[in-house]
Amino acid sequence: MSSKKALTGKHNYAEFKEETIVNRVKKMVDYRAGLDISGLHIKLSYGNRKTGSLVPSISLIPIADCNNCAHCAKGCYAIRNIACYDASRKMMAQNSAIAHGDLPRYFRELDAAVKFVRFLRIHVSGDIISPAYLTGMVDVAMKNTHCQFLCFTKCFDIVNNYLDDHGSFPENLHIIFSEWRGLDVPNPHNLPTSRPVWEGEKVEGIMCPGSCSECAAFDKGCWSLKKGERILFEAH
């Protein structure tokens, strides 16, 4: 598969209807509302075509669990390419139900789940839902220094407030501010960023090669991005 196909998926942004987006989110939110989480556990996803087989991920509900997605909801990768599957919708809704219903358990289970994992992508879908959630991510990273954690976020205020108070993240927690056309990105700590590039735009940065597993294996791409550096994605 060419890297171009891996990046763009089956649909392009212009083709995706608002009604479809609303319906897919509603299905997950409704499913989450009906769950009794007492007998349920978080679920990792083991490698989609972008992350690859070396990089499992944990995801929440797209849009419903994103606190700053007014600009990007119509172009949401997860809505287009993941939330089209019933099993994926249920997995994201179940993780979301546990995160909202019992956050300490969510992170206890994540801590257990990564004991034999070298790389974890936090949120192919969803975002940092609260300051306590970010603290949970930091705690799990500190307890699991064998594992590299990668998280793209548009929850800039939660991250900036954490860094104002604590100064830095653990070295194995890679937080990347996710830019979008027209979106203000307050970045006083000069965190690395990522940005889609639309046709005709000229933006400075390092082009995403398309496989997170390959980047992880060779310590490149987002896994080794430094302050002030930016990864670029092809957008259509």
User: Does residue 56 belong to the site contacting ligand SF4 (CB under 6 A)?
Assistant: no
CA distance 142 to 195: 28
Identity of the residue, 162 or 223, whose beta carbon is nearer to ligand SF4 in the bound complex: 223
212 binds ligand SF4 (CB under 6 A): yes
Residue 160 · residue 186 · CB < 8 Å: yes
User: Contacts with ligand SF4: how many residues (CB under 6 A)?
Assistant: 10
Q: Does position 205 bind ligand SF4 by CB under 6 A?
A: no
CA pair distance 65, 59, nearest whole angstrom: 10
Applying CB under 6 A, among 209, 217, 234, 236 the residue interacting with ligand SF4 is 209
Applying CB under 6 A, which of residues 56, 192, 196, 210 lies at the interface with ligand SF4? 210
| Structure token pair of residue 126 | 């969803």
CA distance 94 to 30: 11
Q: Does residue number 231 form part of the binding site for ligand SF4 (CB under 6 A)?
A: yes
Residue 211 is a binding residue for ligand SF4 (CB under 6 A): yes
* 215 belongs to the binding site for ligand SF4 (CB under 6 A): yes
DSSP letter string, 52-102 = -TT--EE---TTTT-SS-TTTGGG-HHHHHTTTSHHHHHHHHHHHHHHHH-
Told to check if 79 binds ligand SF4 by CB under 6 A, we report: no
Question: Where along the sequence are the contacts to ligand SF4 (CB under 6 A)?
Answer: 208-212, 215, 221-223, 231
